[in-house]
Amino acid sequence: MEQALEGVFDTVVARNPGEAEFHQAVREVLESLGPVVRKHPEYLEAKVIERICEPERQIIFRVPWVDDKGEVQVNRGFRVEFNSALGPFKGGLRFHPSVYLGIIKFLGFEQIFKNSLTGLPIGGGKGGSDFDPHGRSEGEIMRFCQSFMTELYRHLGEYTDVPAGDIGVGGREIGYMFGQYKRITNRYESGVLTGKGLTWGGSLVRKEATGYGTVVFANEMLKSHGESMEGKTVTVSGSGNVAIYAVEKVHQLGGKVIGFSDSSGYVVDEAGVDLELLKQIKEVERGRVADYVARRDSAHLGRDGGIWDVPTDVALPCATQNELHGDHALTLIKNGVRVVAEGANMPTTPEGVSAFQEAGVLFGPAKAANAGGVATSALEMQQNAGRDAWDFEYTEQRLTEIMVGIHETVAETSEEYGMPGDYVAGANIAGFVKVADAMKAFGIV
């Protein structure tokens, strides 16, 4: 890392103790910016990098609610409004017991650059709670969401901050939160939340967008080397929304997904994953991978190791942060992986990223490869602002154009700064420069 940037990083660590994921996300970006600050010393002089590492606003609040037994429960809510240089804060809400301030800050920091890469006018933010929706009744989830929004609503607005969903927050939770926002404000402000239901302001393709976009980006990486997804074998970690629609897009492009996972284990299906069965088990029944194996003769549960032990051409980590370690990367490389595209946020550890890059594996970082979700959220905002609704084909076309454009921008930027084929550097630099230039234009704010 450039010496001047080492000092910035040391300050970030000292100011934000115990937030390992946030430190990791900041280091990963700063390690790419040496060529930028050498070419543009004005960014250092204006302390743009120090400012971009400090959230504009951090909101932490109590979320009390009553469970079905009549007992009072207390969770903690978060919203980190990180950077609004390009537009209103934009980023999802995560409900999961692992959530704490460091997770939200890492996600919000990544969101700044991801949103910049889309080319759309949205800033970066993130939020959530340590509430665990698993095993909770509909009534409990509704009461929690209403209590959560009773505090958060005062910080939101279609020109201020526009949340969406993330892990643990789908259309059901967005519905309960939007209902409470509308109740409190007495405004039908459709553009204040994205990921809404299709009959009340939502966008077609939003559900599919992150998974679709990840695969489109992976396909663009292959095309840059004269290949395509056609005929490739693919493994996907996870089996939630991102993973399911990554599977769907791989199939549409002629590839074959042969493995997926959840927190209980992983499945190998050499005949190719039965997408409709996977959707039925995960989206309707909310079942586990063992339920898929029980109803699919060609599938079996992985007996040793994990999903990254399965030989494959393309690997798509779509579960959660830091799930793909250095030893997993070495196993994938030994087994002939050609492309890795991140569908989750920062799913590959720094050791894993280094291993892939040193081996010449095409590696698409999350802030570029999984930007399709937030891009389609911004398209939902456009439809809400125009009191309009677009059809599936047009919205998917817009999504595809955005993902192809991100790949082109990242590839050209890595070339411009003397690191051809380095998608990590290209994404970090391209995302940063656009935000930094806007921050400089606004003065010291």
Confidence tier at 303 by pLDDT (50, 70, 90): confident
Confidence tier at 353 by pLDDT (50, 70, 90): very high
Query: Is residue 79 assigned to a domain?
Result: yes
Task: Report the number of distinct structural domains present in the chain.
Answer: 3
Query: Is residue 198 assigned to a domain?
Result: no
| Arithmetic mean of pLDDT over the chain | 97
Active site residue: 39, 47, 126, 334, which one? Answer: 126
Strand partners, 339: 314, 362
Residues 19 and 86 occupy one common structural domain: no
Residues 139 and 251 occupy one common structural domain: no
Q: Is position 90 annotated in a ligand binding site?
A: yes
Query: Is residue 39 assigned to a domain?
Result: yes
Residues 8 and 71 occupy one common structural domain: no
DSSP 348: B
CATH of the domain at 63: 3.40.50.10860
Query: Is residue 283 assigned to a domain?
Result: yes
d(CA 212, CA 215): 5
In the prediction, which pLDDT does 19 show? 98
Per-residue pLDDT at 185 exceeds 90: yes
φ and ψ of 69, to 5 deg: -90, 0
Q: Is position 377 annotated in a ligand binding site?
A: yes
Question: What pTM was computed for the model?
Answer: 0.94
Q: Is position 265 annotated in a ligand binding site?
A: no
Taking CA atoms, 111 is separated from 81, 83, 90, 259, 401, in Å, by 10, 9, 8, 29, 20
Tokens of 249: 């897009």
Strand partners, 269: 299
Residues 72 and 38 occupy one common structural domain: no
Q: Is position 241 annotated in a ligand binding site?
A: yes
Residues 46 and 68 occupy one common structural domain: no
φ and ψ of 211, to 5 deg: -65, -45
CB 9 within 8 A of CB 32: no
Residues 7 and 76 occupy one common structural domain: no
Confidence tier at 1 by pLDDT (50, 70, 90): confident
Q: Given the DSSP bridges, would you call strands 233-237 and 314-317 parallel, antiparallel or unpaired?
A: parallel
Residues 215 and 340 occupy one common structural domain: yes
Confidence tier at 304 by pLDDT (50, 70, 90): confident
| pLDDT tens track for 49-86 | 999 999 999 999 999 999 999 999 999 999 999 999 99
Residues 344 and 213 occupy one common structural domain: yes
CATH of the domain at 292: 3.40.50.720
In the prediction, which pLDDT does 261 show? 96
Domain that holds residue 255: 208-348
Is 249 marked active-site?
no
Confidence tier at 393 by pLDDT (50, 70, 90): very high
